[in-house]
Amino acid sequence: MIYPNPVKDILYVNTLEVPTEIKVYDTLGRLVAANTHQNTINLSQLNKGIYMVSVVVNSKKQVKKNIKN
């Protein structure tokens, strides 16, 4: 589970195990933020808009849309 949506600064990833990686992409597919071995990622430097959040846990990838306010 990725929350909150919309996010202001810190995005949280709630999983049973710590994610291997969290990557955030803009609408053009450019990587704009990344973090490894953490349950959070700081998005305060990003502009308002829609982003795709990719989370990898145990080699399983999940992608969700998230809005930055």
Work out whether the CA dihedral 60, 61, 62, 67 comes out positive or negative: positive
Distance of CA 57 to the CA centre of its chain: 13
Token reading at 24: 């955030």
Domain boundaries, the chain: 2-68
Q: Give the domain 2-68 fold.
A: Immunoglobulin-like (2.60.40)
* 1 DSSP assignment: -
pLDDT tens, 8-61?
999 999 998 989 999 999 999 999 999 999 999 999 999 999 999 999 999 999
User: Is residue 63 classed as helix, strand or coil in its secondary structure?
Assistant: strand
Enumerate residues 6+ apart whose C-beta is below 8 A from 25.
31, 32, 51, 52, 53, 54
Q: What's the pLDDT score for residue 36?
A: 95
What's this model's pTM, rounded to 2 decimal places? 0.94
Q: What's the pLDDT score for residue 48?
A: 97
